[in-house]
């Protein structure tokens, strides 16, 4: 098999890159270890920055998002029993779209297949070779047969635990990592929306978040011990904890429903530098992880592949490698700003040590400042709705 760009990973980063390349006349093949059914059924969060939603519309895959997604013009910060709205549109003229990552994946798969794109699902034993040459190869098994895909470039879009990042020798890169002393206990609930917009809450007991997936399915989280066991949390205990953390002085109450999914999300930050090695370019979670507090994960992946697709388009149209050579520098400028914002949101809204009352008072003061200062609110709005890609 032969293609111009081999894309390892069929999540939103890999699929979007494939479609962006297709629109510029560049051939690609996507290799994905999971089946299409597994990929489309994996329910994931989806807060889309204004620029991400605009891009999906520009390339013709945003129709269902516009029909089914929830447009939000702001978020709520709750502390001290009081709720404060940050009006994104009034502050920066932008908003966000809540539309699940798995729904984006469905739309991109449909678009790629309709355009005759090549996606190889259930590709096993993927290995990448000859990255420093002009002819990299990707080896894999499909239906028990050994296959080889030759290409000009490899895009590693296969996530934090994928095979591409380890292909960069330790001597050729640096990694930066932070692990947080807490996790998120997440639940999916069959219930009407408790709030039209997201609620981020700091309580003496810890952090809580109210989000949404659809008018009928809601996503909720609360801060927990990352080593805790889901089995320790029967439904009754979960609702008791959520009510305790989200209680306020305004008479609002949380709407309960059937809990259809439970899980614990680990909290960490990670960056590899550089994001490229020879003819390999990493994108999305393969190159960086952010805590979910800032809602930046998928948006950073979208930013990466936008930059990469432009670099590849320049190479195939003119032979120049200026944009490809600058790929790491261009992407990491935005990645580190997103790391800073995600770290700031996480630090402001979580209890690090229950006995550390001094820090807790500082957090309350920070939230009071953010919600009472237009300049501070505008900074939050600017970062949350999305900084420029370049």
Which pLDDT does position 215 carry in this prediction?
A: 86
Which residues are known catalytic residues? 72, 200, 292, 296, 384
161 with 189, same domain: the answer is no
226 with 193, same domain: the answer is yes
pLDDT exceeding 90 applies to what percent of the chain? 93
**In CATH, what number is assigned to the domain containing residue 227?**
3.30.9.10
- Each residue of 310-337: pLDDT tens digit? 999 999 999 999 999 999 999 999 999 9
Q: Please give the Cα distance from 27 to 3 (Å, whole number).
A: 6
pLDDT exceeding 70 applies to what percent of the chain? 100
201-213 average pLDDT score: 94
Q: Which of 42-51, 70-79, 186-195 has the lowest mean pLDDT?
A: 42-51
**In CATH, what number is assigned to the domain containing residue 118?**
3.50.50.60
**DSSP annotation string for 268-298:** EEEEEE-SEETTEEE-GGGTEE--GGG--HH
User: Is residue 79 in some structural domain?
Assistant: no
306 with 169, same domain: the answer is yes
User: Is residue 276 in some structural domain?
Assistant: yes
User: Is residue 298 in some structural domain?
Assistant: yes
Q: Domains in the chain: how many in total?
A: 2
139 with 249, same domain: the answer is no
Is residue 43 pLDDT above 80, yes or no?
no
241-248 average pLDDT score: 95
According to DSSP, the residues that pair with 265 across neighbouring strands are 184
User: Is residue 85 in some structural domain?
Assistant: no
* Burial (Cβ within 10 Å: 0-12, 13-18, ≥19) of residue 213: buried
Question: Average pLDDT, whole number, for the chain?
Answer: 95
- Each residue of 341-382: pLDDT tens digit? 999 999 999 999 888 999 999 999 999 999 999 999 999 999
Which pLDDT does position 45 carry in this prediction?
A: 74
User: Is residue 89 in some structural domain?
Assistant: no
- Each residue of 141-181: pLDDT tens digit? 999 999 999 999 999 999 999 999 999 999 999 999 999 99
89-97 average pLDDT score: 97
25 with 58, same domain: the answer is yes
170 with 249, same domain: the answer is no
200 with 334, same domain: the answer is no
Q: Please give the Cα distance from 3 to 29 (Å, whole number).
A: 7
115 with 257, same domain: the answer is no
Tokens of 301: 């992946």
274 with 253, same domain: the answer is no
Which pLDDT does position 41 carry in this prediction?
A: 86
Is residue 296 pLDDT above 90, yes or no?
yes
* Burial (Cβ within 10 Å: 0-12, 13-18, ≥19) of residue 30: buried
265-277 average pLDDT score: 96
302 with 156, same domain: the answer is yes
Which pLDDT does position 366 carry in this prediction?
A: 98
Could you tell me the residue range of the domain that residue 204 belongs to? 180-267+351-385
113 with 139, same domain: the answer is yes
pLDDT band at residue 73 using 50, 70 and 90 as cut-offs:
very high
160 with 68, same domain: the answer is yes
pTM: 0.94
193-212 average pLDDT score: 95
Which pLDDT does position 390 carry in this prediction?
A: 66
Q: With the C-alpha atoms ordered 323, 327, 331, 333, is the resulting torsion angle positive or negative?
A: negative
Is residue 44 pLDDT above 90, yes or no?
no
Is residue 42 pLDDT above 70, yes or no?
yes
């Amino acid at each position: 098999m032969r293609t111009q760009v081999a894309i390892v990973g069929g999540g939103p980063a890999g699929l979007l890159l494939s479609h962006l390349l297709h629109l510029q006349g560049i051939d690609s093949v996507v290799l994905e270890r999971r089946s299409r059914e597994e990929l489309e059924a994996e329910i994931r969060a989806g807060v889309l920055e204004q620029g991400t939603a605009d891009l999906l519309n520009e390339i013709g895959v945003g129709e269902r998002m516009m029909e089914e997604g929830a447009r939000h013009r702001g978020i709520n910060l709750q502390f001290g029993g009081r709720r404060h709205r940050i009006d994104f549109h009034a502050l920066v003229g932008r908003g966000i779209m809540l539309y699940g990552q798995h729904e984006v994946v469905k739309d991109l798969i449909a678009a790629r297949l309709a355009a005759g794109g090549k996606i190889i699902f259930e590709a096993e034993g993927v290995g990448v070779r000859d990255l420093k040459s002009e002819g990299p190869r990707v080896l894999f098994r499909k239906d028990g047969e050994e296959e080889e895909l030759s290409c000009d470039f490899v895009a590693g879009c296969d996530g934090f635990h994928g095979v591409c990042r380890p292909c960069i020798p330790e001597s050729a890169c640096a990694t930066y990592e932070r692990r947080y002393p807490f996790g998120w206990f997440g639940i999916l609930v069959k219930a009407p929306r408790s709030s039209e917009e997201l609620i981020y809450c700091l309580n003496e007991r810890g952090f809580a978040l109210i989000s949404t997936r659809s008018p009928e399915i809601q996503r909720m989280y609360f801060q927990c011990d990352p080593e805790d066991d889901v089995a320790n949390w029967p439904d009754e205990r979960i609702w008791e904890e959520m009510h305790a953390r989200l209680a306020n002085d305004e008479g609002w109450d949380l709407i309960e429903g059937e809990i259809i999914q439970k899980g614990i999300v680990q909290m960490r930050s990670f960056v590899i530098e550089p994001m490229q090695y020879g003819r390999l370019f990493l994108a999305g979670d393969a190159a960086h992880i952010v805590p979910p507090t800032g809602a930046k994960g998928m948006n950073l992946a979208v930013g990466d592949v936008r930059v990469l697709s432009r670099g590849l388009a320049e190479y195939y149209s003119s032979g120049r490698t200026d944009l490809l050579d600058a790929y790491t520098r261009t992407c990491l400028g935005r990645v580190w700003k997103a790391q800073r914002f995600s770290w700031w949101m996480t630090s402001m809204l979580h209890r690090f040590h229950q006995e550390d009352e001094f820090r807790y008072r500082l957090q309350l003061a920070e939230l009071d400042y953010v919600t009472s200062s237009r300049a501070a609110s505008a900074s939050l709005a600017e970062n949350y709705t999305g900084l420029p890609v370049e």
